[in-house]
Amino acid sequence: MRRDVWGLQADDPWDPITEAYARAVAVMQARPITDPTSWSYQAAIHATFAAAPPGAVWNDCQHGSWYFLSWHRMYLYYFERIVRAAVQSIGGPADFAIPYWNYDQPFPNNTLPQPFREPTLPDGSPNPLFLPPPSRRDSIANGAQLPPAATSSSAAMATTNFIGPPGPGFGGGVLPPTHFAGSAGALEQTPHNVIHVLVGGNPSGQCQGGLMVDPRCAALDPIFWLHHANIDRLWNRWLALDNGSANPDETAWLDQSFTFRDETGAAVTLTGAQIVDSAEQLHYVYDDQPPAQDMAVSMNGTFPTPREPAEPPEMVAATEQTVDLVGDARSIQLTVPPSTVSLLASDDVRTGARALYLNVEDIEAEQNPGVVYVVFLNMASDDPGADRARHHVGNVTLFGIEQMNDPDAAHPGVPGLRHTFDVTRVVGELNESRPVGPERHHRDLRTHHADAATRPGGSHGRRRGNGCRRTRADRPRQPLRVLRDHW
Amino acid sequence: MTDRSSAVRRMGVTLAWRPEWPVAVIVVMAWVALIAIHASSSMQGAHAAHVGAAAPTALLAAVGGWALVSWALMSVAMMVPVTLPAVRHVGLNSIRRRRRRAMALYAASYVAVWVAFGVLALVLVAALRSTGPDERLLVLGTLVIAALWQLTRWKRRAVVACQRTVPLPPTGWRADAGCVRFGVRQAGRCVVSCGPLMLLMAVIGHGNLVVMAALTVGIVAERRTSIRGRLAVPVGGALAAAAVWTVLFSGAT
Ligand SMILES: [Cu+2]
């Protein structure tokens, strides 16, 4: 059973499970990189700067596609077996399982777990879970709280499709690109990518800076595995919802196999179909696994988005130009052509029967600037008292963007990141407070504006967001705001 | 009656997801035209590509007119299938009222780049022919270049870049310009990625429908498969095999 790490340390940061993990990490770190059960070899399976030795499957991590969840579940599963073997070799708990970090909880759970902040173990020996600066963002390393907008999985939980685009999907876009572009799923975007960036801090080549922020270094940070255990847990929770959530039934997803190493160092292979049921097939559960009905009641019927859209989303508004984010406040204006105004004013839109999506597309950057961009709709930049949660559309990160620029990378990524948000609820709530008649639409459309604010960042923080475009019907008057936040 | 109307509706939804279908129809028409031309020209025993190869003054004449028309048909038949997903992207990312116009602008600029490439390629080939090397040598050389090209980094880069999209503004001249820019850019990447293959077509002419079909399938497959299963090397291998075949069996083309 995988347990909540904050639950383990209720009385003492050094629960036997957490301490066993720390000691097993030390054992694995002492092994040479040629050993498949070593710390560095395992991290290299995810991604690394080093060239893979013959026979090794390195740089294999799947991001930005529908394989994200399945690949990381397999990865974590074999890693856990390796750690458990190491734990047992040093006399630790026989039922060891990787704990998870559920940061989407009030203080102190939304801070880095205590054992990752202690330089030493209880016996005074060095603590491998602790990383000296600059391997983690200073504020987080010192116990700063993660904001709810960063840790919340509610947007992901509200999706009803596994696959997206078109529209937001829980698990990501289909590759090979029959839909022209792959895309990260909602859970991968937030909280997964956001936590990577916030915990990681500033990237630096060859893993000399923040580890979590760069896929080639991320798995070297012991918190990585607790983060991914949480993501894996959230996948199970989503499936337990009674909102139509289900895994893909396409054979391309079910039969796709990936290769890892087990605790003996032997190469092992799993397919999607072999890992969909973690309890039955992989023999682990989470300590909070809910009865399916509990969740069903709270979620059922809340989101009217149809599972299979009958017709493709229809573009109703888009930006005129590319947006460069270089550290200054920016306004992003959406143009609503006259021909789509009537669609925006339709009852289907007013009642939420038609979903409204907002895409931030063709995002390009040379490397991840290590910041999170927060997108708001219709929030005036000069209003410090604005209720940010009310206007919050979602978060944009550039996690892993470096490797999308490399045609030789093993990643099946498609250049140009894309984020799709379901803005039905946000737009609906904003409209309730400001009902408008159709005649007024036209005028407002031409004057409505959007704001983007960013804070100064590194020279690499250049983000080219091509289109902040809303597909599907949408109400006008919702300026878009992108804020590069300083969490 | 209900069956029929629901079938019509389903058809409508399918086509709505594939707004590029008119372009696909044009591709089919290009193939039909090429087959028809092939049939009639083989009856007459004449071949446009071999006309006027001797005199340098005849080069442009040989390139002009008929050769260019058949080249344009060949570009549509061979190079447009690979860009149909991009046409769909343009369609679905334009407002409903502008979809047809946007896709037409995209496709026209895309084909225009290929026609421009064709002018250069045909002039080059005609010039080479006028220097009088063995025809087999010409085919062999192009095959070897095309095969080696498959293995280069530029080739891989271009194939990946083909999946990159550009901003498409919603209305007005900016929207039109966006479609044209996207078409030119995609065709540019395609020239980098498939140029040597089309050079081969410039050498052997549009008469060889089997080669045309094989190359089209290879190009589409290479683009559509995931980056994990790169097909560039197998396609290069097939070209190398064709080169060997050309050496062993003279006059085959
Ligand atoms: Cu991750």
Q: Could you tell me the sign of the dihedral formed by the alpha carbons of A272, A274, A278, A284, in that order?
A: negative
So what's the ipTM on this one?
0.75
DSSP H helices, B45-171, are 58-63, 66-79, 84-92, 99-130, 135-149, 153-161
In CATH terms, the fold of domain A5-299 is di-copper center containing domain from catechol oxidase (1.10.1280)
pLDDT band per the 50, 70, 90 thresholds, residue A178: very low
Query: Radius of gyration over alpha carbons of chain B, in Å?
Result: 20
* Domain span(s) for CATH 1.10.1280.10 in chain A: 5-299
Predicted local distance difference test score (pLDDT) of residue A460? 28
E strand segments, A264-356 = 267-271, 315-319, 323-325, 334-335
Selecting from B159, B165, B226 the residue whose C-beta is nearest the C-beta of A175 gives B226
Q: Tell which residue, B116, B110, B113, B107, has the closest CA to residue B25.
A: B107
Average pLDDT value for chain B: 79
Task: Indicate the SS3 state at residue A363.
Answer: strand
Instruction: Give every CB contact of residue A42 below 8 A, 6+ residues apart in sequence.
Output: A28, A36, A79, A82, A219, A261
Lowest mean pLDDT, pick from A193-207, A285-299, B40-54 = B40-54
| The pLDDT of residue A299 is above 50 | no
Predicted local distance difference test score (pLDDT) of residue A453? 28
What would the two tokens of residue A369 be? Answer: 């600037």
pLDDT band per the 50, 70, 90 thresholds, residue A44: very high
A472 phi, psi to nearest 5 deg: 65, 170
Predicted local distance difference test score (pLDDT) of residue B58? 55
CA distance A375 to A388: 10
Q: Could you tell me the sign of the dihedral formed by the alpha carbons of A184, A188, A190, A195, in that order?
A: negative
Chain B residues with a Cβ under 8 Å from any Cβ in chain A: 13, 16-17, 19, 85-86, 88-89, 92-97, 153, 156-157, 159-161, 163-171, 174, 224-228
Average pLDDT over every residue of A57-68: 83
Q: Tell which residue, B137, B150, B83, B149, has the closest CA to residue B250.
A: B137
| The pLDDT of residue B82 is above 50 | yes
Lowest mean pLDDT, pick from A190-204, A384-398, A437-451, B135-149 = A437-451
Residue A328 in contact with partner chain B when CB distance is under 8 A = no
Lowest mean pLDDT, pick from A408-417, B75-84, B136-145 = A408-417
Average pLDDT value for chain A: 78
Element (H, E) at A468: strand A467-471
For chains A and B, count residue pairs whose Cβ atoms are closer than 8 Å: 104
Q: Tell which residue, A421, A420, A422, A403, has the closest CA to residue A412.
A: A403
- Better-predicted residue by pLDDT, A219 or B124: A219
* Domain span(s) for CATH 2.60.310 in chain A: 314-484
| Class for the domain spanning A314-484 | mainly beta
Average pLDDT over every residue of A132-144: 92
Residue-wise pLDDT tens digits, A233-260: 999 999 999 888 999 998 889 998 899 9
Task: Indicate the SS3 state at residue A364.
Answer: strand
Residue type at B148? L
pLDDT band per the 50, 70, 90 thresholds, residue B110: very high
A481 phi, psi to nearest 5 deg: -125, 130
Predicted local distance difference test score (pLDDT) of residue A459? 26
Question: How much is the pTM?
Answer: 0.81
CA distance A50 to A30: 18
Predicted local distance difference test score (pLDDT) of residue B168? 86
Spatial strand order of the sheet with A480-485 comes to A392-396, A372-377, A480-485, A451-453
pLDDT band per the 50, 70, 90 thresholds, residue A2: very high
Average pLDDT over every residue of A60-84: 92
pLDDT band per the 50, 70, 90 thresholds, residue A463: very low
Highest mean pLDDT among A244-258, A337-351, A407-421: A244-258
Lowest mean pLDDT, pick from A395-409, B93-107, B230-244 = B230-244
CA distance A270 to A258: 6
Determine the residue of chain B that is closest to A415 in CA distance.
B164
Chain A residues with CB inside 8 Å of B163's CB?
Answer: 177, 180-181, 414-416
Average pLDDT over every residue of A39-62: 86
pLDDT band per the 50, 70, 90 thresholds, residue A317: confident
Highest mean pLDDT among A43-52, A384-393, B244-253: A43-52
Predicted local distance difference test score (pLDDT) of residue B134? 75
Residue A346 in contact with partner chain B when CB distance is under 8 A = no
The tally of CA atoms less than 13 A away on the side-chain side of residue A98 is 26
| The pLDDT of residue A298 is above 50 | no
Chain B residues with CB inside 8 Å of A315's CB?
Answer: 92-96, 170
Distances (CA, A) of A211 to A104, A218, A330: 22, 5, 29
Beta strands A463-465 and A323-325 are antiparallel
- Better-predicted residue by pLDDT, B43 or A77: A77
Distance from CA of A309 to the nearest CA of B (A): 10
Highest mean pLDDT among A370-374, A442-446, A479-483: A370-374
Instruction: Give every CB contact of residue B44 below 8 A, 6+ residues apart in sequence.
Output: none
Instruction: Compute how many other C-beta atoms are within 10 angstroms of the C-beta atom of residue B22.
Output: 16
Selecting from A176, A181, A312 the residue whose C-beta is nearest the C-beta of B17 gives A312
E strand segments, A292-448 = 315-319, 323-325, 334-335, 357-363, 372-377, 392-396, 417-422
CA distance A399 to B193: 29
Lowest mean pLDDT, pick from A48-52, A294-298, B38-42, B210-214 = A294-298
| The pLDDT of residue A118 is above 80 | yes
CA distance A135 to A143: 15
Residue-wise pLDDT tens digits, B203-243: 877 667 777 888 888 777 777 664 444 566 677 777 777 76
A246 phi, psi to nearest 5 deg: -160, 155
Lowest mean pLDDT, pick from A396-410, A423-437, B41-55 = B41-55
CA distance A423 to B118: 47
Predicted local distance difference test score (pLDDT) of residue A177? 40
| The pLDDT of residue A390 is above 50 | yes
Lowest mean pLDDT, pick from A51-65, A382-396, B169-183 = A382-396
Chain A residues with CB inside 8 Å of B19's CB?
Answer: 312
Lowest mean pLDDT, pick from A152-156, A331-335, B28-32 = A331-335
- Better-predicted residue by pLDDT, B38 or A248: A248
Beta strands A372-377 and A392-396 are antiparallel
B225, B231 Cβ separation under 8 angstroms: yes
> What's the B18 CA to ligand 1 centre distance in angstroms?
34
| The pLDDT of residue B127 is above 50 | yes
